[in-house]
Every structure is written in C-alpha cells, then in structure tokens.
Chains A and B, each alone.
Chain A
Amino acid sequence: MKMAKPKVAFYWCASCGGCEEAVVDLNEDILGVVEAVDISLWPVALDYKKMHVEQWQPGEVTVVFINGAVRTDEQLEWVRLLREKCPLVVAFGSCAHLGGIPGLSNSTTRQETIDRKYHQSPTVDNPQAIVPHEKHIQNGYELELPAFHEAVKKLDDVIEVDYYLPGCPPTPELIAGAVTAILEGKLPEKGSVLAPDKSLCDQCPRKDSKPEKIEISEFRRLATSSADPEECFLAGGFVCMGPSTRTGCGELCIRGNMPCRGCFGPTSQTRDMGAKFLGAIGSLLAASEQEQCDRIASTLADPMGTFYRFSLPASILKQRMS
C-alpha cells in the first residue's frame, strides 16, 4: 500500500503576497513538492474555512509555513490555532521572522498610524472622519472587525516557532532546501534560521573592491545618485546592510546594483540589527570633529527605517514610544 503523503499548510498574516509568489517561483520544482506532499491549507490558492482547520486532528498536518507579521486579533487567533494543530511551525519570510516591512508601522504609535491612514494622508478624503471600530451596528445587525493591536509583532512573539526561513521573500533554493530537510527528517537544531550563519559581505561579489579603510563623507541614495556597478556600496557612500545581514539570498540585490537592505536579518551573533549596523557604519564617517560628524550624519534621512527596514519589531526597543 502506498504511504499517505505528508500534509503541509501555508498561511499568511500581515504580508504582501510576495511569499506566496516565492512558492510559485519554485516553477517546475513545485510539481515535485506536490508529488511529495498534500497542501491542506493555502488561502491564496485554495478555498478553505476556519472550521476545516479546527477539524484537523492534532499532528494530521505535519508543518505550517506562516508568512506575515501579526497585528490583529484575527491573525493571532489563526496562528494560535495552527500552532495547536501542527507539530512544526516555520516562520516564512522577513515579516514572520522579524516583523518585516509591515513592522515599519512601529515607527509611529498606533494612534499616529490611524491618524495618518484615515485623516492626514494627502490622498485621503474622509470629511466625516470615519475610522474603523471593532463593533458597528448596521440595519440592526452587529458587525465586528478584529482588534488592531498597539504594535506589529513578529511570529515568535505570539506563538512558539520551530524554524525560520528568512528573506523578502525566501529564495526558491532555501524553500526547496527546507522542504527537503523536513521530508527527509534532516532538520537542524530547533529554533534555527534555515540559511547560512555568515554575513552578506562574506559572499559579496564586490568584496574585492572593498577598500582597506572606508570613509563616508556624505550618505548617498540611489534615488538621487547612481551607483558604480562594481564598487563596494559602502565605499561609494551608499547604506548597504551587508556587514550586519545574514547571507543565503544569492546576493540578488547586489547583482542587480542595489545595496543590501537587510531582509535576511542578522546572523546569530547579533542581538539588535539596527544598533549593530549603526555601530559599524557610524564609525566610517570621514570626520574627526563633532560638527563634521553631525553634518555627515544629517545626510542620512531616516536611520530607523534604514537600519531596521525589516527588523523593527525584532529590535530591543520594538516601537516608537508614545
């Protein structure tokens, strides 16, 4: 008799859909995956209801890949349910791993986010100043919206996570590697990030162009300056998160003449990615007087959003204080 195929699930929280795209990017290899496993839940592609998941026997579905950060009660409820049902939970992509781009919302308080979104943004036309409420009565019916939490959280702030697949999105190679490791039972120690524990600079195709001593006399941005297609970005004054970012991405951005933005998160040696990077890049300013330092530093517009672009909810401070 043929053995039953292991069942897997995909779920999404605060995310953009890029992680689902990454699964589709497996191209023909997805046929191999479908051959090996049954997909029990995948909101982007398959019809499902929450009650179907509630009916799963514990352990019936071997692994769930959850992408997206967590900010609403609905997301919280779903990930708790999936945790209860699945022996293996993999945080899939930057948002589940570190908070990701949605985590940048933590650079404002909850109230500031709501004010901006519903009142202040130049593209908003809201003369009655309507804002969403958790409960609303319409024609005698009580309607509900999930609660919107104070801050964006990464997945392991709300449930236990077994493994992390980093990246925005994770590359097909890493996904295939993770699926194979699960199917063959060759997973590393629980809690591991399923990517090499080295910095991007270590693998950078431009590392030979990195000068002995980097000195930055002005921070430059791709929006307003063009980057040399072969030179180390830091040497050119561009903020490249390579020194503080885990590799395993194939250095795709660098090869596309785009500095690293840090989506793979830090290596296991770093407690706070942004602070660590600040320490590294800060010491490269070409100045030996405080005023000069202040002037060069002022050419970097948004240190928080730049240094914690994908990891603000994973930082020590987590969110702007109210």
Chain B
Amino acid sequence: MSDTNYDPVIVGFLCQWCSYTGADLAGTSRMEYPANLRSVRVMCSGRVDPTFVIEALAGGADGVLIAGCHPGDCHYSEGNYRAMRRFPLLKSLLDQFGIENERVRLEWISASEGERFAEVVTEMTAELKELGPLNLKGKLTSTGKAPAA
C-alpha cells in the first residue's frame, strides 16, 4: 500500500457472555495482540443488526468483527444462529457495494478462549494491512460532484 501510515481500525461487536469475556481473559492473561480493535459490547451476536456493520464501515472502520458464543452455546439459545444465517447475505451485499469480504468476519470465541481472541485480532489486523484502507468516510463525503467530461 502507498499509505505507509495506515493502521487499520477494526470495530468488534463482542457478545457479552462469551467473546467479550474471552477478550477480557486475553487481557488479564497479558496476551499480546495488535491494538487495532475497538470493541463494542453487545448482549448477543444476534443483536448485531447489519445496519451496525454498515454504519461502522461508513463511519471509518476498515473492518468489522462480529464475535459470539459457539453454536449451541448461546445464552439466548439461538441468537448466534441468527448471526450465522445473516452473515452470507451480508457478505454478498457488501461485495456488491465493492467492499471486500475479508473486511467482515464472524467468529465464535468462548469465554475461555482468550488465546483464540488474540489470534483472531492478530490475523484480521494483518489481513486488513494487506488490503489497505477502506476510507469510506472520505468517499461518502466526496460523491456527487460532477467530474469533467
């Protein structure tokens, strides 16, 4: 990428029962992982309205992570299945908008998987560095000007 100062911003929607606790474990275990994730605690991965993901990307995020309990382990029985079912349609939609699928990720991270959490954030940060900035915020404010013919 030409932009050498680029440091990806990831917005992470973490379910409070599993993944947020997993993130906490990564922290209390003093695991090291890149500081590129801004976490948003949600009650359930099923609560993550696709609008949130789009809003995060439009607001300047380079990638979005949705993380919840493993299938079968949802605190609300099937909220994470809802997240799973929506995800392929969300990816197709973003693809049609010209946003690479690698920018959104759905992961199951339990409360005991601090290591997995650190691994996911590390991987995703590396992938986003490779992809380069999304910069939707800049693009969305500059559209509509008539270019010279």
Question: Does chain B have a CB within 8 A of A135?
Answer: yes
| Distance from B147 Cβ to chain A, minimum over Cβ atoms (Å) | 7
Report whether A297 and B46 are in contact in the complex, using a CB–CB cutoff of 8 Å.
Answer: no
- Number of residues on chain B facing chain A (CB within 8 A): 35
Question: Does chain A have a CB within 8 A of B29?
Answer: no
In the assembled complex, the Cα of A275 lies from the Cα of B139 at a distance in Å of 20
Question: Does chain A have a CB within 8 A of B38?
Answer: no
Report whether A157 and B144 are in contact in the complex, using a CB–CB cutoff of 8 Å.
Answer: yes
Report whether B96 and A279 are in contact in the complex, using a CB–CB cutoff of 8 Å.
Answer: no
In the assembled complex, the Cα of A161 lies from the Cα of B149 at a distance in Å of 30
Question: Contact string, B55-67, partner A, CB cutoff 8 A, digits 1/0?
Answer: 1011000000000
Question: Does chain A have a CB within 8 A of B1?
Answer: no
Report whether A150 and B143 are in contact in the complex, using a CB–CB cutoff of 8 Å.
Answer: yes
Question: Does chain A have a CB within 8 A of B88?
Answer: yes
> What are the residues of chain B within 8 A of A279 when measuring CB–CB?
49-51, 86
Report whether A288 and B93 are in contact in the complex, using a CB–CB cutoff of 8 Å.
Answer: no
Question: Does chain B have a CB within 8 A of A120?
Answer: no
Report whether A153 and B85 are in contact in the complex, using a CB–CB cutoff of 8 Å.
Answer: no
Determine the residue in chain A with the shortest Cβ distance to B106. Answer: A290
| Distance from B16 Cβ to chain A, minimum over Cβ atoms (Å) | 19
Name, among B46, B55, B71, B144, the residue most crowded by chain A CB atoms within 10 Å (CB to CB).
B144
Report whether B149 and A147 are in contact in the complex, using a CB–CB cutoff of 8 Å.
Answer: yes
Report whether A293 and B85 are in contact in the complex, using a CB–CB cutoff of 8 Å.
Answer: yes
Report whether A316 and B98 are in contact in the complex, using a CB–CB cutoff of 8 Å.
Answer: no
Question: Does chain B have a CB within 8 A of A35?
Answer: no
Question: Does chain A have a CB within 8 A of B145?
Answer: yes
| Distance from B49 Cβ to chain A, minimum over Cβ atoms (Å) | 5
Report whether B140 and A318 are in contact in the complex, using a CB–CB cutoff of 8 Å.
Answer: yes
Report whether A293 and B87 are in contact in the complex, using a CB–CB cutoff of 8 Å.
Answer: yes
Which residue of A73, A289, A303, A317 is within 8 Å of B92 (Cβ)?
Answer: A303
Report whether A107 and B96 are in contact in the complex, using a CB–CB cutoff of 8 Å.
Answer: yes
Report whether B97 and A276 are in contact in the complex, using a CB–CB cutoff of 8 Å.
Answer: no
Quick one: given A279-B86, A321-B98, are A73 and B51 in contact (CB under 8 Å)?
Answer: no
Report whether B96 and A149 are in contact in the complex, using a CB–CB cutoff of 8 Å.
Answer: no
In the assembled complex, the Cα of A302 lies from the Cα of B93 at a distance in Å of 8
B residues in contact (CB < 8 Å) with A: 46, 49-51, 53-55, 57-58, 71, 81-82, 84-90, 92-93, 96-99, 136, 139-140, 143-149
